[in-house]
Structures are given as structure tokens and as C-alpha cells.
A = this chain, B = another copy of it.
Amino acid sequence: MSPDLAAIGQRLKRFRAERGLSLDRVAGLCGVSKAMLGQIERGESTPTVATLWKIASGLQAPLSRFLVGESGVVHRPTSPPRHRDASGMIVTPLFAFDPVLGFEMFAIELPQGCLSESSPHAPGVIEHVVMLEGEMELFVEGAWQTLVAGEVLRFAADQPHGYRNRGPAPAKVHDLIHYPFSA
């Protein structure tokens, strides 16, 4: 979950290298001292948003260019915690929450007979469920809906909702939780 702040320097360095710019040149373009730019690239300093903004706008690049986390690294979520809650639901994080992207993603397995009630999330939160294996019922907006493998469902999660599996086999789903820009 830790944002790997050194990576923003690496991305800046790479960005600069790709278009053959010197630190001096970049300093002139964006109004940040070349010593500072050097320190940022080496991870010896984490910039303020003000200076990062000067850098991004001076280089005419989106901010996300330097902020995005864990690019190009294969992640193996099996070793990190497969968490099991009281209802027996097994939750495995696939992509941890990233403030830049605004969502997180889990793999969820519901054993037979499992029932999991979920209290409302923050306003505007939207869940996306992708059914992978088995069969599941989802309580949303006052009604139970049945999903089978291959089906998907998007729903507002800022209200009471729940999952249950009354089928004969364990159910596997992916759950993507999106946290909104505006409430």
C-alpha cells in the first residue's frame, strides 16, 4: 500500500531520458532548480504538489505520469493475506487501493451456505461484481438477484447490500470497488 515514492523519481528520470533532456533544460522549462530535480530523481526528496505540478506542466505531461504505482511488476496475491471473515467469505486482494486510480479489486470466494451482509460504504462508492464460477445471490436495493458465471452487475454500494451462496458449489467472483471523485 505504501506508495513507493522513490518510483516517481524513476519515472521522471525515464521520462526525461526518453526525450533526451538534461536536468538543466528541464529546470529551465518548469522553473524548478536542477539540484532539486536531481534529488527527486534519486529519491532523496519527495516534492510538494506545487513543484510536482510545475514539473508536470513544464513538461506538458499529465500528473498521473509520475504518480502511478507499481507499473510493470507482476504481483502474486496468493502469498499476501487470503482473509477470511466471520461469515466464511474468503477475500483475496488483487489490486490494493491506489489513491491515483481510485479503486481496489478483490477476488472473493463464498463457500456453500455462506451469507455475508455488508453495511453501506461511503457515498458514491460503486461496486462491480464479475461472476466467475458457481452461482451467487446479491442483495441490492431491497431485492435478491441471482448471478451465474459470466454475468456482471454494477450497483451503488452506499446502501446495505449482501452476498449469499445457496448453490451446491463454492462461488467465485471478482469485486471491483470504485471510490468516486464527487459525492
Contacts and interface: CB of A to CB of B under 8 A. Distances in A.
Contacts of A48: 46-49
A140 interface: yes
A101 interface: yes
A2 B99 contact: no
A70 interface: yes
The CB with the most chain B CB atoms within 10 A, among A5, A47, A181, is that of A181
Given A53-B99, A152-B95, A124 B183 contact: no
A176 B183 CA distance: 24
Nearest to A129: B74
Contacts of A163: none
A154 interface: yes
A166 interface: no
Contacts of A5: 49-50, 53
A123 B18 contact: yes
The CB with the most chain B CB atoms within 10 A, among A15, A49, A67, A70, is that of A49
A99 to B, nearest CB: 4
A180 B57 CA distance: 13
B154 A99 contact: no
A150 B77 contact: yes
8 contacts: A3-B50, A5-B49, A46-B49, A62-B181, A69-B154, A70-B181, A77-B151, A77-B152
